[in-house]
Amino acid sequence: MISVGTSLESSRKCVTHAQKYINVYATVGVHPNDTAVTDFSDMEELKQLAKSSQRVVAIGETGLDYYRDRAAPEVQKKWLEQHLALALELNLPVILHARKSEHDLLDLVYPFIQAGGSAVWHCFTAGKKLLPEVGEKALSMGLMLGIGGVITFEDQQALREFLPLIPDKHLLLETDSPFLNPRPRVSDRNDPLQTVRIAEEVARLRGVTLEDIARVTTRNACAFFRMYDETEEKGKIAYAIRNSLYIALTNDCTNNCEFCARNQSYVVKGHDIKLDHEPSAAEVLAAMGDVSKYDEVVFCGFGEPTMRLEVLKTVAAQMKQQGQTVRLNTNGLSNLYYQRDIVPELVGLVDVVSVSLNTADPAQYRQMCRPRFGEAAYEGMCEFIRACVAAGLKTVCTAVEMPEIDLAAARRKTAELGAEFRARSYVDAG
């Protein structure tokens, strides 16, 4: 739990609680609505409080509130600037509040971010027309967006529509206790226990499971506020997303796509899948554990699974013996890699082959995917797709929804190859 200071007095209490309880962290700050009744000289005590304990993880709640009108905007701005300066000085993130002040807030926070600061827009929302614009601007600045009970409110359709567009790495959950009780209300007062209800709604709207959202937002919160996360695991070989169990066999790849998500981070839906070694079949099977609860097993990861063909075949054979559905996500360049047709070796072991076609234009493919096989790559991939179709494997070609990709042409090319087509969202891997 993070106990958020909103005045000098409450900041003192937050720090006391954080030092007393192992699962409580603190922030210190003066809420914009309190700025008219607080003296600027109190900033010095806030600074000393922030420095007094390593369990102080952020500066704030600070920001601008033109809705309540309890302090003049110029006074609020001055306080916000002081908070931002303190956060930079102490190298702490900032918790921001905005009401009817979205553009002013972003304008003031911009130089702070440029100077290396980090911030969360707490209980993110805005007016219906304004929300997509300020949301995109906040994301482009690198802000985290905190989602609270407001996501369950009937009049927040704009927020519900924007929510799936927030990349995983920018997403946090919060309660704003004792305010903003999720709907339907189960008590008069909001409390941290209600986070799970917010998480359930966020999971539903983003089309993932509660476990996925819990994992993603716990990792984000621990990284953003620099708190220790005892649940964090690195180098996962097997990782669950929705009802699928994904397998990472390698970080090596015959492509070097310019859009590959691993160029930014090896974290997928809260799983760190940067392998410290290439696992054996026995290690993979041990990492998978009981697979009976999953709908499918998917060979994927940040790398090309077919580069570990023998391990892939051994694990897939075990899965088929257990009656599992097996999917292979591939760049389709394995026949070029092995200089032979490997498709017959997949028959009976793999149910679905998903090939990243990416584009109908070979020149664009070469430019975007930077294959190690150069000009031969695109036609080699098409040959692989034709071979999969001819072998009776369910074959799906995918392309990422990006402005520079002609999805209609990719769809036509897929039909020509005899496969099914699926457009993938660019927002997040996994």
Choose between 57 and 369: whose C-beta lies nearer to ligand SF4: 369
Min dist CB 310 to ligand SF4, Å, is 20
Nearest to 248 by CA among 321, 322, 312: 312
114 vs 264 by CB, closer to ligand SF4: 264
What's the burial of 263, exposed, middle or buried (CB within 10 Å: 0-12/13-18/19+)?
Answer: exposed
Q: Any idea what DSSP says for residue 269?
A: T
Q: How far apart are CA 186 and CA 194, in angstroms?
A: 9
Residue 311 to residue 241: CA distance in whole angstroms:
22
β-bridge pairing 144-147 and 119-121: parallel
Q: 254-283 mask for ligand SF4 (x: CB under 6 A)?
A: -xxx--x-x---------------------
303 is an interface residue for ligand SF4 by CB under 6 A: yes
**Considering the rule CB under 6 A, would residue 253 count as an interface residue with ligand SF4?**
yes
d(CA 19, CA 247): 41
Q: Which stretch binds ligand SF4 (CB under 6 A): 57-65, 201-209, 212-220, 253-261?
A: 253-261
Among 76, 190, 324, 331, binds ligand SF4 (CB under 6 A): 331
174 vs 428 by CB, closer to ligand SF4:
428
Interface residues for ligand SF4 in 369-408 (CB under 6 A)?
369
Q: Which stretch binds ligand SF4 (CB under 6 A): 90-98, 155-163, 280-288, 299-307?
A: 299-307
Of residues 79 and 365, the one with the C-beta less far from ligand SF4: 365
69 Cβ contact list (under 8 Å, min separation 6)? none
Number of helical H runs and strand E runs in the chain = 15, 16
How many CA atoms are closer than 13 Å to the CA of 332, on its beta-carbon side?
Answer: 28
Where do we find the tokens 């369950």? 152
> What is the footprint of ligand SF4 within residues 349-368 (CB under 6 A)?
356
Residue 369 token pair: 């995917």
CB of 301 to ligand SF4, least distance (A): 8
Question: Which residues contact ligand SF4 by CB under 6 A?
Answer: 253, 255-257, 260, 262, 302-304, 331, 356, 369
